Amino acid sequence: MSRKGKVVVYLALFCLINTSCIKKLNLYQGDKDDDNGNSKVKEKTVVCETDFFYPFDKEVKSVEAKITIRTRTPLPQDIYSLRPEFPPLKYNKSWLFMLTQDDCKQVAFCCTWAAINGRPLSSQYFYDLAHVQADDFPPDAYYLGKTLGCTDGAGNEIRFSFTTTLSPEWGYMNEATKVGKGYTENYHRFFMKSGLFWGNVKEMLNYGVGIAFHDLKVDDPNSEEDVLAHLGMADNIIVDKLGRSCKMLARPDGNNTYIRAGERYPAVQTMTTESGGTKLYPCQSMDLYKVPVERSFYDPSPSEPDPRSNQDRIKDAIQEELAKPEEERAAINVGVHGTDWGWVELFQWLNDEYGKDGQDNVWMPSQEEYYEYDYYYKNGMIMPRRIDDHTLELTVTLPGGTAFYYPSTTINLYNLKMDDIDSIETGDNISGFSYAYCKDKECVMMNIDCRKYLAEHAENFVKRYEANPNVKANKDDALYFVGILKESDKKDELLKRIK
């Protein structure tokens, strides 16, 4: 063969070898052979469901609890000089922040709830409870490395909370999702869903998140009778799915027909609007029953240019309120639809500046929890009784209302020092307890939690940790919920199980 012929043959062989190695690459799905082309990892379809759920349907409605305080020094002859009272805000915090997330968004779970509770975050994907259970997260998942909240004034963590609205009449809340840890052929399972699944909602409720009515599947949104009927239908679905009712309504689209229907529907006790509502001042006497409380989305004014982000406007509003005396501060009540890294940064800023890693002066509950606390603040009773010179008994009455699920409060005792206290014992109706001296109020403060199944709830988090001890969030959660319990043999036993 001539030299020229050999060159042609070599070139042909070179092209054949190299073209045989070229694969068709779907740029959207990625390289299948490198990922799951020969892998046994497959996706599977599952229904989101919690491994346990707090029995809200069995919660106590009204509570009478006793606290017995034994002192080293004699008690005053006038026992009422100790002035036992409920402070305007739980844990003696000096200002209130609340957030309601509209439209039953999936990010209420995988962004807002996840950021607060130390779970993975993603800048471009979404996930559900089933992914948490399967340890199957988006490829860009990252962590804040801590949980977000305040303390109870006695050194115990209290995580931030918020409200999510629900869409119980829409079928997507019942849909299944796909999971597949290690499946990388595509990430369709992490694409945004139509909204929250019931399993996601139940898990958030396990952590104290509140719920609210919002949009309803009405034929005529301007018909009060139609909205009223669908409030009943939606509530029935909620009770069936969650074992508890819903007492909050977030007005959708500025439609006051919902407000008028909410005023007539018995279960609705607290409402919120994005405009035209009543501004909330926690330290002022206000009747909140069926009162539409105003919130703000902190959007820029359409008439004035404003380069600030919504989160920056919220920060400025906070600092403006904190410049006022505590008694004159309005609540910072925020409305939001979708949340993303900008909102995560805001939540972390709240924690670092005013929460447990900062000044520790903010309380961030859901609106329904605040409504219940305010109800106890105005309608509860604390009766002191002198047993002997060194024994004080407090009888605390918390009169519950319909669909009340947060039987807990803070009590201040004045003219008593920590050094005066020898011991404090609580009755069986109190499941969680802590106390400390509050310098700002110059009093002994006591936090009581009367949830009937708090110990069982804490043990379920311990069991979850024991099943997956290598997941950091499982250990953090177990310690958090056990930490809420009052001192007891049961608490000691649970703590020993968390290694």
**Which of the residue ranges 211-220, 298-307, 458-467, 480-489 would you say has the lowest mean pLDDT?**
298-307
Q: What is the pLDDT of residues 362-410, one digit of tens each?
A: 999 999 999 999 999 999 999 999 999 999 999 999 998 899 999 999 9
CA-based R_g, the chain, Å: 27
What's the average model confidence in pLDDT over 317-341?
98
CA distances from 462 to 183, 184, 474 (A): 30, 32, 8
Tell me what pLDDT residue 28 has.
27
List Cβ neighbours of 155 (8 Å cut-off, separation of 6 or more): 434, 436
Q: How far, in Å, CA of 460 to CA of 481, rounded?
A: 9
Distance CA 457, CA 478 (A): 10
Averaged pLDDT, 333-357: 99
d(CA 209, CA 160): 9
Per-residue pLDDT at 429:
97
H-only helix segments in 265-359: 310-322, 341-354
Provide mean pLDDT across the span 435-454: 98
| Half-sphere CA count of 49, side-chain side, radius 13 A | 7
pLDDT in tens, 104-155: 999 999 999 999 999 999 999 999 999 999 999 999 999 999 999 999 999 9
Q: Please determine, for residue 35, whether its predicted confidence score (pLDDT) is greater than 70.
A: no
Q: Is 233 helix (H, G, I), strand (E, B) or coil?
A: helix
State what percent of residues in the chain have pLDDT above 90: 89
DSSP result, 125-151:
----HHHHHTT---TT-B--SS--EEE
CB 207 within 8 A of CB 149: no
Asked if 39 and 182 touch (Cβ cutoff 8 Å), the reply is yes
Total residue count of the chain as it appears in this document? 499
CB proximity list for 430: less than 8 A, separation 6 or greater: 65, 67, 448, 449, 450, 486
CA angle 483, 408, 259 (to 5 degrees): 125
In this structure, the strands spanning 177-179 and 248-250 are: unpaired
SS3 category, 146: coil
Based on DSSP, count helices (H) and strands (E) in the chain, helices before strands.
13, 19
The tens digit of pLDDT for each residue in 66-114 reads 999 999 999 999 999 999 999 999 999 999 999 999 999 999 999 999 9
pLDDT at 6: 45
Residue 39 has a pLDDT of: 63
Answer yes or no: are the C-beta atoms of 368 and 210 closer than 8 Å: yes
pLDDT, mean of residues 455-476: 98
CA dist 50 and 203 (Å) reads: 6
The pLDDT score that the predictor gives to residue 76 is 94
Q: Average model confidence (pLDDT) for the chain?
A: 93
- The residue written with tokens 């962590």 in the block is 143
Residue pair 48/198 in contact by the 8 Å Cβ criterion: yes
Distance in angstroms (rounded) separating the CA atoms of residues 414 and 437: 10
Judged by average pLDDT, the poorest of 111-115, 297-301, 391-395, 435-439 is 297-301
